[in-house]
Chains A and B, each alone.
Chain A
């Protein structure tokens, strides 16, 4: 009789896999447990540590599981009360593949493998539960089913841009040319010629029995070894190499190399005794490779007009969609998409210059807002400004006219590609946002030193910018203006702080989603204004306040802040995570409804997704509190 073991057994019985055990078995397990207290940030085990002789269960607190990728710690999963982790010793002999670190002060139960193994062997359900988790490669950090097991057999995908192509699925000819075994060679040759095809499948009951390509025609007919009147089954290659549907690019490539062939037949179950579903030719592989990011950028550089760019942009949309489906981390997708968007903008400016003649002065085309932060995954509006170098007063008009025309053309091009114009007119074709460096310097100084005085229309998006085209020196000059003014301008931060807090709250007092009350998006959730903007604004505010330069991306800003300001690092890291989750929701919605993804239909979401979304909204409150504590907000409210 051991009261403490009883108490632990009582806790265990509510969580899988322990819920499959009898109370006596649970007592045995509970007796063997060691209880460990982990201080905040204490590491229980780390990558490459020798395996422990036990696995773990969180009794209270939370444990972060993470892997190191690209020298950056990437959070895989957060274990909360009742979660089991560190199962590797059950299935593998090599060292740990991840790091387990206490996110807050936690108590964990260490359960010896030796005690638990007999129950695994005896109890199929326990075994299945453990195996499932071990095989589960999900890297989704917010998958918060209670009592789930956390896998440590993670295949961490992504990391390098080039890897993305291997996850691409192939598009191939779904209606290949077919013929019967007793057709005459001459007729088949004619059929191929008429259909501009270099191959034909020989079929019986729609099963592939052979294939004839240009090679057979050359080596067996043109050489005179078989007469033109022979039946096709005499010259066909057999058997046909077959694969199942949804083969990946890499797989098809390997198969062709291995069998030294140029065509693969796709059948229903992947064997030659099943129905034909299509044909993959070498050419399809080349086409598929062409939508890898590097090639897309090359294609952009070669584009001659907006129509070409539009084609590339639609390929990019496909790539984003498949990348998200493959669980490639959003940060990587953001990076790649950012680069490609940038290339498109650059090429659009170039095309306009080609049309208008070379510019009369040096200038810089800066992307602002979401593209400036490299967070633009969907076809949302392109905000931009144009800064040109100072010219003599008498030439000013002429120069400005040129650049306005240039901006108008470029934005016209972008519109044709599919980017809608900014509804607020935050674009370089607006006379207000296309001016000389001196004017811009004055503009920024005005915004920062006397915020809210001249106009309420200081938009914080002007502080997220990235050069798309032109002189980098001009971008540097603007950055310098901002950071010299930052030091003396407390008022500016207070203004920004107020601005950030003015966003409507995402959740009501009763923790319900605040939905749109009227308008075309009635009863939908405005994820952009209510959830993403507060995070974006907060990140900008604190990075500028901490004098961090050169990081424009919200996720990286939070990560950097966590390092610079360790006192609040937890808030920042939670925000970084939340930002990714929320962005993902927005992108998915955008791709689904082919919109900007700003409004999410809560009703259509699964209950689990709704919980994930709600949890991701929590850090916003902490961030707002931090803003309230850090700045004097009363001056503007």
Chain B
């Protein structure tokens, strides 16, 4: 609870100071993110890949896109898992600290959007903690919560597939964080116009 007192005189990495300074301006950009992880426990599991795409002026900007595969050799080795899929993929590959730094530089002060985004953020925060940074400062929106609000159903869970079905979006059969981010971005646009969100 008093973490912030502990950290008050702490010297942060350069990129983090830069990141924090971006919040002096109000955000007009949304970044839709999707992560792939080894499991659901933030303290034990690690991020395998991050995909993100920006939404500005009610449209998805294809060019404004981020994708990275994290090289988690240590985790995989410790758990006796194969790293074949990482080597096969032709996506940009970085070690965890470099990948997280690139991601933080990419998102800037944007409002983050995702599906069950609190979990994605928790995972990223965990990685940031290891790098001696504090928690992510961005505002965040969750498409599942947006949909619950729209349909006035509070006691039900909606997977991305459920939401796609509700909005008649066909999902790509290829699986990648980027593809997911794009699908969530479409969902977000549809939800946003229905809920009459500003910006």
Which residues of A are at the interface with B, using a C-beta cutoff of 8 A?
1-5, 7-8, 30-37, 39, 42, 60, 105, 107, 110
Contacts and interface: CB of A to CB of B under 8 A. Distances in A.
Given A4-B179, A7-B179, A32 B59 contact: no
A37 B58 contact: yes
A39 B179 contact: no
B189 A37 contact: yes
Contacts of A4: 53, 62, 65, 178-179, 181-182
B194 interface: yes
A34 B172 contact: no
A5 B182 CA distance: 10
A39 B62 contact: no
Could you say which of A3, A30, A107 has the most chain B C-beta atoms within 10 Å of its C-beta? A3
B20 interface: no
Contacts of A35: 59-60, 62, 185-186, 189
A589 B19 CA distance: 72
A34 B190 contact: no
A31 B194 CA distance: 27
Interface string B168-199: 10101000101101100110011001100000
A60 B168 CA distance: 10
A3 B174 CA distance: 10
A107 B58 CA distance: 12
A36 B61 CA distance: 9
Given A3-B176, A7-B172, A110 B59 contact: yes
**Which are the 5 A-B pairs with shortest beta-carbon distances?**
A35-B60, A37-B189, A34-B59, A3-B178, A36-B59
Contact of A31 (B60, B62, B92, B189): B62
Contact of B62 (A1, A33, A105, A107): A33
B173 to A, nearest CB: 11
A60 B186 CA distance: 12
Interface in B19-73: 51, 53, 58-63, 65, 67
Interface of B: 51, 53, 58-63, 65, 67, 90-92, 167-168, 170, 172, 176, 178-179, 181-182, 185-186, 189-190, 193-194
Nearest to B172: A7
A39 B190 CA distance: 7
A323 B185 CA distance: 49
Nearest to B168: A105
A258 to B, nearest CB: 53
Given A2-B178, A3-B178, 14 more contacts: A1-B67, A1-B90, A4-B178, A4-B179, A34-B59, A34-B60, A34-B61, A35-B185, A35-B186, A36-B60, A37-B58, A37-B189, A105-B167, A105-B168
A35 B167 CA distance: 16
A197 to B, nearest CB: 71
27 contacts: A1-B67, A1-B91, A2-B63, A2-B67, A3-B176, A3-B178, A3-B179, A4-B62, A4-B181, A5-B62, A5-B65, A7-B179, A8-B62, A32-B62, A33-B62, A34-B60, A34-B61, A35-B59, A35-B62, A36-B59, A37-B58, A37-B186, A37-B193, A105-B167, A105-B168, A105-B190, A110-B59
A34 B181 CA distance: 15
A63 to B, nearest CB: 15
Contacts of B190: 37, 39, 105
Contacts of A8: 62
Contacts of A105: 167-168, 190
A53 to B, nearest CB: 13
Contacts of B67: 1-3
B57 to A, nearest CB: 8
Nearest to A108: B59
Nearest to B58: A36
B92 A1 contact: yes
A110 B182 CA distance: 16
Contacts of A31: 62-63
A107 to B, nearest CB: 7
B89 to A, nearest CB: 10
A7 B185 CA distance: 15
Contact of A7 (B58, B182, B186, B194): B182
